[in-house]
Amino acid sequence: MQKTGFVYIIASKRNGTLYIGVTNDIRRRVQEHKTNLNKWFTEKYGCKTLVWYERFEDIRMAIAREKKLKKWLRNWKLELIEQQNPDWKDLSKGW
Protein backbone atom coordinates (compact mmCIF):
# COMPACT_ATOMS: atom_id res chain seq x y z
CA MET A 1 0.00 0.00 0.00
CA GLN A 2 1.36 3.38 -1.00
CA LYS A 3 1.45 6.17 1.55
CA THR A 4 0.25 9.69 0.73
CA GLY A 5 2.88 12.40 0.87
CA PHE A 6 3.08 16.17 0.99
CA VAL A 7 5.80 18.59 0.00
CA TYR A 8 5.49 21.91 1.80
CA ILE A 9 7.10 25.30 2.22
CA ILE A 10 7.11 27.06 5.57
CA ALA A 11 8.23 30.70 5.72
CA SER A 12 9.39 33.07 8.42
CA LYS A 13 7.59 35.97 6.71
CA ARG A 14 6.82 37.19 3.20
CA ASN A 15 10.01 36.81 1.16
CA GLY A 16 11.79 35.61 4.31
CA THR A 17 13.55 32.36 5.12
CA LEU A 18 11.99 29.32 3.44
CA TYR A 19 11.99 25.74 4.68
CA ILE A 20 11.07 22.97 2.23
CA GLY A 21 10.06 19.63 3.67
CA VAL A 22 8.22 16.40 3.01
CA THR A 23 5.85 14.49 5.27
CA ASN A 24 3.09 11.91 5.28
CA ASP A 25 1.05 13.98 7.79
CA ILE A 26 0.97 17.68 6.88
CA ARG A 27 -1.10 18.79 9.88
CA ARG A 28 1.18 17.10 12.40
CA ARG A 29 4.33 18.36 10.71
CA VAL A 30 3.14 21.98 10.53
CA GLN A 31 2.18 21.80 14.21
CA GLU A 32 5.70 20.59 14.98
CA HIS A 33 7.10 23.68 13.23
CA LYS A 34 4.71 25.99 15.07
CA THR A 35 5.63 24.55 18.47
CA ASN A 36 9.40 24.58 17.85
CA LEU A 37 9.71 20.79 17.94
CA ASN A 38 12.48 21.15 15.35
CA LYS A 39 14.31 23.55 17.65
CA TRP A 40 17.53 24.27 15.82
CA PHE A 41 15.91 25.46 12.58
CA THR A 42 12.52 26.77 13.71
CA GLU A 43 13.92 28.76 16.62
CA LYS A 44 16.82 30.16 14.63
CA TYR A 45 14.85 31.21 11.55
CA GLY A 46 11.26 31.49 12.82
CA CYS A 47 9.72 29.48 9.97
CA LYS A 48 6.17 28.83 11.17
CA THR A 49 3.84 29.93 8.34
CA LEU A 50 2.69 27.29 5.85
CA VAL A 51 2.69 29.17 2.54
CA TRP A 52 2.60 26.34 -0.01
CA TYR A 53 2.04 22.60 -0.21
CA GLU A 54 1.39 19.89 -2.75
CA ARG A 55 -0.21 16.47 -2.15
CA PHE A 56 0.94 13.22 -3.75
CA GLU A 57 -0.70 9.80 -3.69
CA ASP A 58 2.73 8.21 -3.31
CA ILE A 59 5.28 9.43 -0.74
CA ARG A 60 8.09 8.54 -3.15
CA MET A 61 6.79 11.12 -5.62
CA ALA A 62 6.67 13.71 -2.83
CA ILE A 63 10.29 12.96 -1.91
CA ALA A 64 11.36 13.34 -5.54
CA ARG A 65 9.52 16.67 -5.81
CA GLU A 66 11.10 17.94 -2.58
CA LYS A 67 14.59 17.14 -3.90
CA LYS A 68 13.86 19.06 -7.11
CA LEU A 69 12.45 22.09 -5.29
CA LYS A 70 15.47 22.30 -3.01
CA LYS A 71 17.66 22.71 -6.11
CA TRP A 72 15.52 25.53 -7.53
CA LEU A 73 16.65 29.13 -7.53
CA ARG A 74 15.10 31.21 -4.76
CA ASN A 75 13.07 33.39 -7.14
CA TRP A 76 11.49 30.26 -8.67
CA LYS A 77 10.37 29.17 -5.19
CA LEU A 78 8.92 32.62 -4.51
CA GLU A 79 7.00 32.49 -7.81
CA LEU A 80 5.67 29.02 -6.94
CA ILE A 81 4.35 30.32 -3.61
CA GLU A 82 2.80 33.42 -5.13
CA GLN A 83 0.99 31.43 -7.84
CA GLN A 84 -0.98 29.53 -5.17
CA ASN A 85 -0.83 32.00 -2.30
CA PRO A 86 -0.19 35.60 -3.48
CA ASP A 87 -0.92 37.08 -0.04
CA TRP A 88 1.35 34.62 1.80
CA LYS A 89 -1.51 33.60 4.11
CA ASP A 90 -0.96 30.78 6.59
CA LEU A 91 -2.61 27.87 4.79
CA SER A 92 -2.83 25.92 8.05
CA LYS A 93 -4.96 28.52 9.80
CA GLY A 94 -8.08 26.86 11.14
CA TRP A 95 -6.68 23.32 11.24
pLDDT, one tens digit per residue, over 28-58 is 999 999 887 767 777 788 899 999 999 999 9
Q: What is the pTM of this model?
A: 0.93
Which domains, ranges and CATH numbers included, belong to the chain? 5-84 (3.40.1440.10)
In this prediction, residue 40 carries a pLDDT of 74
Q: Is the pLDDT of residue 81 over 70?
A: yes
57 exposed, middle or buried (CB, 10 Å; 0-12, 13-18, 19+)? Answer: exposed
In this prediction, residue 1 carries a pLDDT of 65
Q: What is the mean pLDDT of the chain?
A: 93
